[in-house]
Structure 1
Amino acid sequence: MKKVEVSCNIIKDILPLYYDDVCSHDSKKMIEEHLSECSSCKLELESIKGDINISKEDINKNKTDINVIKKMSVSWNRSRLMSFIKGTIIGSLLIFFIILGYFGLFHWNITSVPTELVKITNVSEMSDGKIVYYSEINDGYSLNNLKYDMDKEGNFYITPLRPIIKQEVGEINLFEKGYEWIDIREQELYRGQEIKSIFYGTPKDKILIWKKGMELPKTSKEIENMFSY
């Protein structure tokens, strides 16, 4: 049988398939016969091998580079997640402190009223032993809380408290201007200690209302009826 001549252009076109071993058996045989006689196509095959073959060092280097990139990607994603978590925590804390600050300034009664703004009059004693007094604060700001406290010496304190940011008086209540009473027996029973004196204010800024042994006038019938219940 006469040998079929194949052009170098055709061989070069299918050399990549031959190199990858994906061509047919007949094509492979044809190419090998041609390569045995054609130095040009043989050089082309070597060129293909050189372009595709990678040294072990290059492969290891590429693997190392890929691992580095993967680690960088994982680290970046972790860093981004941590930044998001930190941002969320900081934002939540900021909102919390803003709300806390708002209530602290406008609603928490933590500031005592100086006694120079307070006037205590008409201190008297009811028939059941309660002490009645008239308190008046005329600085134009509201008062909604009285704190009751007692020290180890038997001094009882009635402390008027306001928020840091004061609010102007709307409708005057009894804390700002009106009669108040103290049930000494009830307080002594509750606290398990004898009351020796009663003050309006704080231990450092106070007005004496009553102390043990002090003679007080009897409360009027009108006031007596007001607190007899």
Structure 2
Amino acid sequence: MSKVSCEIIRDMLPLYYDSVCSDESKRMVEEHLAKCNNCKMELEKIQDEIHIPEKNIIENKKSSNAIKNISISWNRLRLKSLIKGGIISALLITSIILGYVGLFKWEMNSVATDVAEISEISEMEDGKIVYYLEINDGYRLDRIKTHVDNEGNLYITPLRPIIKKEAQPPYAFEKGYDFIDIKELELISGKKIKTVYFGTKKDKILIWEYGMELPKASEEVEKYLEFRGL
């Protein structure tokens, strides 16, 4: 076989490296490379040029995966932070609402009887007991709770929130007439009512007890309660 020039061999090296040349061409290149260091170095150069990008691709893929993992971790942390922040905000808002309700709306504190004056206790034509209540500490009263214990004692307990409001017309329960329907309360509680107290078990004013004779309510009081729909 005649000697092949280096230029031809170098043109064939990419085909040889990719194994796409014929067997005869492959033998020719290998015979030439066995004797020519320059072409052998050219083949090594081709190998290096191809391997380096492959290495870079692998490194880039690793870097990409690392960045992707960091992004996923970051998103998870951000989601957790958002959820945690949402929970904390919801708890804070709930605490504020509950605090506001507890301080201003939740009527849980009973009013001491030393600031209450009960007068004009009388009996209406339908048997209801009517009385005039005045709370003289200057604060509003919006709720009166009734409770019958096992001994048949009915407690009419005035309740207020922790933060009190000043009493201003039109008055609620802090000043005016109110009534007690003994028969209706006995039906509701299923107990025979023997006494009626204003206040609590520890702080109370007697309004009525079984057998007590009360004066008849005045016509003005009857009309007033009828006008109010009581």
Q: Shared fold (TM-score greater than 0.5)?
A: yes
- Give the secondary-structure state (helix, strand or coil) at the position aligned to 1:91: helix
- What SS does the corresponding residue of 1:187 show, helix, strand or coil? helix
Gaps of 5+ in 2: 53-57
SS in 2 for 1:215: coil
Q: Distance in 2 between matches of 1:74 and 1:21?
A: 40
Q: Which amino acid aligns with 1:149?
A: H
| Partner AA of 2:18 in structure 1 | D
Residues of 2 paired with 1:71 and 1:195: CA distance? 75
Which residue pairs with 1:189 in the alignment?
Answer: 187
Amino acid of the residue matched to residue 163 of structure 1?
Answer: P
Tell me if the contact between 2:116 and 2:135 (Cα under 8 Å) persists in the aligned partners.
Answer: yes
Aligned residues: 217
Q: 1:72 to 1:174 in 2, by over 3 A?
A: closer
Name the SS for the 2:78 alignment partner.
Answer: helix
- Map of 2:5 onto structure 1: 5
Pick one of 88, 95, 99 that aligns with 1:90: 88
Please tell me whether residue 120 in structure 1 is matched to residue 142 in structure 2: no
1:93-144 deviation line (CA, Å, top 9, x unaligned): 2222222222222222222212121111111122322111111012222111
Q: Deviations over 1:22-71 (max 9, x none)?
A: 8877xx75864542322244245447657839xxxxx9xxx999988876
* Mapping for residues 6-85 of structure 1, pairs under 5 Å: 6=6, 11=10, 17=14, 21=18, 32=30, 34-43=32-41, 45-46=43-44, 49=47, 52=51, 74-85=72-83
Deviation of 1:208 after TM superposition, in Å, equals 1.2
Instruction: Write the letter of the residue equivalent to 2:207.
Output: I
For the residue of structure 2 that corresponds to 1:181, the secondary structure is strand
Contact 2:6/2:39 (8 A) holds in 1: no
Name the residue aligned to 2:200. Answer: 202
Do 1:142 and 1:172's aligned partners in 2 also have CA atoms closer than 8 Å?
no
User: For the residues of structure 1 that align with 2:20 and 2:40, how far apart are their CA atoms?
Assistant: 17
**Residues 151-209 of structure 1: per-residue CA shift (max 9 Å, x gap):** 11111111111222112223241411111110111111222111111111122222111
Gaps of 5+ in 1: 54-58
Partner of 2:178: 180
Which of 94, 100, 103 aligns to 2:101? It is 103
C-alpha separation in 2, matches of 1:14 and 1:138:
114
Identity of aligned pairs, percent?
56
Question: 1:38 & 1:133 partners in 2: Cα distance?
Answer: 127
Q: Contact 1:105/1:163 (CA < 8 Å) preserved in 2? A: yes
Cα–Cα, structure 1 residues 131 and 36, in superposed 2: closer, same or farther, change >3 Å? same
Q: Return structure 1 stretches of 4+ with deviation > 6 angstroms.
A: 22-25, 63-72
- Correspondence for 2:55: none
Q: Over the residues paired in the alignment, what is the CA RMSD in angstroms?
A: 3.8
TM-score of the two chains, using structure 1 as the length reference: 0.75
1:49–1:191 Cα change, 3 Å: same
CA distance in 2, matches of 1:91, 1:20: 66
